[in-house]
Structure 1
Amino acid sequence: MSLRAVELFGGAGGLALGTHAAGFANELFVEWDRWACDTVRQNRKAGHSAVQGWDVREGDVRKVDFSVVPDGLDLVTGGPPCQPFSMGGKARASDDKRDMFPAAAEVVRTLRPRAFLLENVRGLKRAAFSDYFEFIRLRMQYPELVANDNESWLDHFRRLQREHIAGQHDSLTYNVADTLVNAADYGVPQHRHRVFIVGFRADIDTEWAFPQPTHSHDALLEAQWVTGNYWDEHSVPTKERPLLPSRFESRIRKIRDGQIEVNGRLPWRTVRDALNGMPEPLAGGVAGWKNHNHQPGARAYPGHTGSPLDEPSKALKAGGHGVPGGENMLRRVDGSVRYYSIREAARIQTFPDDYELHGAWGEAMRQLGNAVPVLLAKTVGAAVAGHLNSARMRDEAVLQAS
């Protein structure tokens, strides 16, 4: 039996696609942006199996009637807007009207799911936000301890701290854990550092831990510069390979000498890995490939160099042209650059090839830049699903024994 889920701040659907692959059936998908909603609607109309059951609600999550969701929900997921905490933004946190963590807590209070899964940028854990991050944790831990009229977040935070220390809670309570990860460590061909906040309702067994990394940089260095397996797998002749990066020489030597062990992890996946089997994008698109048009105008300059072909991509950003660092741009071995096509960027974000992004290049890149990598969402979602299923089986065994 599928586990039931509701998605908040759904964007283009990366998190929801991942949790769907992990065994959750998404019943309600809430997103305020019309273009992102159109992406989901367009794929649903085209018959994409993952989104068929999604009830798409376009609008402010605070104005959605969640009474339509039957009791017994397993999971609430979402990526509240990252701009209040992003290192590329003004970082105003609670003073930014786009801060939606309190809204997420209200939905959890209303739906009382067995678990929740929230994702955001690593800037959320900056020292400057330490108090507010702890407020978020406590707010999600005790969703029924809502703010009083005209109460500031700081006064609310102090009240939550007092209640937490008192240790007597008859209200809805969650056991909350947070983790900062790099998506590359989980097989995503991209450096994408994200914070996950996971909570299980207090009646669910708390023996849960975030999944261990499966991939590593050292394993990639070994495959490229010790065994050479990486180049052989891609049939790259010696003359077309990049020079060994001097900044890695010492580490490669230690790997070769056995001073550093890969410990069974797989190599980080690179841009070359992600784009394997794809034709070059063309101005008019490529037959048989969705969203695979060439986007002209890419150029490199200091501080805007693109993502090297044989490393994980830089984190895609929610912008089109002029993104600092050239994150939405590919840099070939010879130093030439071009923009990722929408389909290539979707590959970098591990979206399925048959999932089409709605809108022009800049709009689609914004959606992808805001998205959770599907593979990372599946990995975390599968761990949550496994824990919830195990808890349910234990509860059923106790009932049968009684």
Structure 2
Amino acid sequence: MSENSTIAINQGVQNVSKLSVLEICAGAGGQALGLFNAGFESLLAVELDETAAQTLRQNSNGKVVVGDVADPKVWSPSEFEGVDLFAGGVPCPPFSIAGKQLGSSDERDLFAWAVEQVAVIKPRALLLENVRGLSAPRFSGYRQRVLDRLTQLGYVADWRLLYAADFGVPQLRPRFVLVALHPEDAAYFRWPEPQEREVTVGSSLRDLMGANGWPHLDDWVKLANGIGPTLVGGSKKHGGADLGPTRAKRAWEALGVDGKGVANEAPGKDAPHPSEKLPRLTIPMVARIQGWKDEYAWEFAGRKTSQYRQIGNAFPPPVAEAVGRSIRAALNHEGIPHEIPELSADVHDPVYRALANTDGFVKMARLIATLDELNHASVERRLAVLAQDFVLEEKSTSTGTAYRLGAFKGFTGQSDHSRNNYMENFRHRVS
């Protein structure tokens, strides 16, 4: 689906050969902007929140639709078969360390559903990003199922934990990123390398914090000489225009920032010294911390709390651009190809793999024998974790308990899944 196009974002117009991208859970456009800068043209962006969708509309010429991405009345995945890149930042709460980490039991979980759409859309590449929590041992079986499903569909997939601070963003912000490509393209894929220079909060915000002539700017910049903690956008149900939970606020305080709220403007000429009263960030400052640059001229729709939430939940544009450039290079077969195992991920959950590779019951003794690095207690712990995301059948035998891996509990598009009722009744709570 590659073609020559003229794409306009804000005031800039680029005449380049673009690859096509279909984006789900697009938010306010952090990923869309980064992928555009990496050479991708948006065919469609799907977003649940109307205000975030308005932000997308007023900053780009791409088509934007509003609604539940899994609702067939909103859009039809089959219409985009063969797109170059299928990308999305599916909801984070199911995996967030700050939440209950319900995974597939959380009605907001769309990760498995997104992977299932690969069978319909058949993209050349897949890019999905989420919070660091998805990389935890709690979700080892979930991750293994994702990799195995993509292998069934003919893709080579890999996960990587990327830190925004490694790509010129003055914020730690770890993101767990999944990339999958066909073998012939995967041989050319390499994860982007971190930049050598770190950007601090003080150096990044100096011009914005001093815009109103604050006389103590230099002292504040020295105090803010570090990388900020991860911005927390919150949700419609929880969180407002502040910089996150107590631990995050303390980290911001150590950098000279009052994280209890977001200011309407930078401190003025009469504002006290930061040793007396710490300044708060403004919306433009928060956007800068998240990786939006002035030259993007990106305008956020809605009121302050909504704008903050859109920015705080976004995939930083520089990180999306770096990953997008690596994917584009792979699809164009740039560089020297490498052996596919370099991209193939290690086995995330050997217990899941052992159970998934057989149709019958597997005895505990066999699991321990097959996985000689695990003992009885460790196998039982892994089985208990698996049972949170899969139906785990048990059968007593004369020589002990045997197990069989049943159905995945998560939503993959089933018409009778509990997520459908949840979205029908509580859609206003989801963000």
Please give the range of the TM-score, normalised by the shorter of the 2 chains. Answer: 0.5 to 0.7
Q: Which residue of 1 aligns with 2:205?
A: 275
What value does the CA root-mean-square deviation take over the aligned residues?
2.6
> Does the C-alpha gap of structure 1 residues 205 and 129 become closer, same or farther in structure 2, counting only changes over 3 Å?
closer
Counterpart check, 1:341 vs 2:282: yes
Alpha-carbon offset, residue 78 of structure 1: 0.6
Q: Which residue of 2 aligns with 1:371?
A: 314
> Does the C-alpha gap of structure 1 residues 337 and 316 become closer, same or farther in structure 2, counting only changes over 3 Å?
same
Q: Secondary structure at the match of 1:11?
A: coil
Alpha-carbon offset, residue 141 of structure 1: 3.5
State how far apart, in whole Å, the 1-side matches of 2:40 and 2:133 are.
29
Letter in 1 for 2:191: F
CA contact (8 A) 1:10 1:29 kept: yes
Choose which of 288, 292, 316 in structure 1 pairs with 2:231.
Answer: 316
Counterpart check, 1:175 vs 2:156: yes
Cα deviation, 1:322-376, whole Å, max 9, x if unaligned, reads 7212277761694442321111111111124310111222211111111011011
Q: Secondary structure at the match of 1:37?
A: helix
Cα deviation, 1:46-67, whole Å, max 9, x if unaligned, reads xxxxx21x11011111124335
Cα deviation, 1:154-182, whole Å, max 9, x if unaligned, reads xxxxxxxxxxxxxxxxxx31100110121
Q: Secondary structure at the match of 1:390?
A: coil
Counterpart check, 1:191 vs 2:116: no
State how far apart, in whole Å, the 1-side matches of 2:173 and 2:58 are.
27
Cα deviation, 1:374-402, whole Å, max 9, x if unaligned, reads 011101101111111127999xxxxxxxx
Which stretches in structure 2 are left out of the alignment for 5+ residues? 1-16, 214-221, 235-240, 258-272, 338-431
> Does the C-alpha gap of structure 1 residues 315 and 372 become closer, same or farther in structure 2, counting only changes over 3 Å?
same
Q: Which residue of 2 aligns with 1:137?
A: 147
Which stretches in structure 1 are left out of the alignment for 5+ residues? 44-50, 143-171, 215-264, 287-306, 395-402
> Does the C-alpha gap of structure 1 residues 184 and 279 become closer, same or farther in structure 2, counting only changes over 3 Å?
closer
CA contact (8 A) 1:66 1:111 kept: no
Letter in 2 for 1:25: E
Q: Which residue of 1 aligns with 2:194?
A: 213
State how far apart, in whole Å, the 2-side matches of 1:210 and 1:134 are.
20
Cα deviation, 1:111-135, whole Å, max 9, x if unaligned, reads 1110011111000011122111222
Which stretch of structure 1 is more off in the superposition, 115-124 or 128-137? 128-137
Choose which of 21, 38, 48 in structure 2 pairs with 1:32.
Answer: 48
State how far apart, in whole Å, the 2-side matches of 1:81 and 1:36 are.
14
Choose which of 70, 73, 82 in structure 2 pairs with 1:62.
Answer: 70
State how far apart, in whole Å, the 2-side matches of 1:392 and 1:68 are.
32
Number of matched residues? Answer: 283
Amino-acid identity (%):
36
State how far apart, in whole Å, the 2-side matches of 1:385 and 1:78 are.
16
Letter in 2 for 1:321: D
Q: Which residue of 2 aligns with 1:359?
A: 302
Letter in 1 for 2:306: E
> Does the C-alpha gap of structure 1 residues 70 and 118 become closer, same or farther in structure 2, counting only changes over 3 Å?
closer
Q: Which residue of 2 aligns with 1:48?
A: none
Q: Which residue of 2 aligns with 1:200?
A: 181
Letter in 1 for 2:207: G
CA contact (8 A) 2:163 2:172 kept: yes
Counterpart check, 1:106 vs 2:116: yes
State how far apart, in whole Å, the 1-side matches of 2:32 and 2:211 are.
28
State how far apart, in whole Å, the 2-side matches of 1:9 and 1:364 are.
16
The normalised TM-score by structure 2 is 0.61
> Does the C-alpha gap of structure 1 residues 209 and 106 become closer, same or farther in structure 2, counting only changes over 3 Å?
same
Which stretch of structure 1 is more off in the superposition, 71-80 or 314-323? 314-323
> Does the C-alpha gap of structure 1 residues 377 and 206 become closer, same or farther in structure 2, counting only changes over 3 Å?
same
Q: Which residue of 1 aligns with 2:36?
A: 20
Alpha-carbon offset, residue 281 of structure 1: 6.7
Alpha-carbon offset, residue 99 of structure 1: 0.6
CA contact (8 A) 1:113 1:201 kept: no
Counterpart check, 1:331 vs 2:261: no
State how far apart, in whole Å, the 1-side matches of 2:207 and 2:303 are.
24
Letter in 1 for 2:92: C
Q: Secondary structure at the match of 1:278?
A: helix
CA contact (8 A) 1:61 1:103 kept: no
Q: Which residue of 1 aligns with 2:95?
A: 85
Alpha-carbon offset, residue 137 of structure 1: 2.5
Q: Secondary structure at the match of 1:204?
A: helix
CA contact (8 A) 2:81 2:120 kept: no
Q: Secondary structure at the match of 1:106?
A: helix
Alpha-carbon offset, residue 5 of structure 1: 0.5
State how far apart, in whole Å, the 2-side matches of 1:339 and 1:177 are.
39
CA contact (8 A) 2:92 2:130 kept: yes
Which stretch of structure 1 is more off in the superposition, 23-32 or 183-192? 183-192
The normalised TM-score by structure 1 is 0.65
Alpha-carbon offset, residue 191 of structure 1: 0.6
Alpha-carbon offset, residue 280 of structure 1: 4.5
State how far apart, in whole Å, the 2-side matches of 1:279 and 1:128 are.
41
Cα deviation, 1:213-258, whole Å, max 9, x if unaligned, reads 11xxxxxxxxxxxxxxxxxxxxxxxxxxxxxxxxxxxxxxxxxxxx
Cα deviation, 1:7-26, whole Å, max 9, x if unaligned, reads 11101110111010000001
> Does the C-alpha gap of structure 1 residues 185 and 56 become closer, same or farther in structure 2, counting only changes over 3 Å?
same
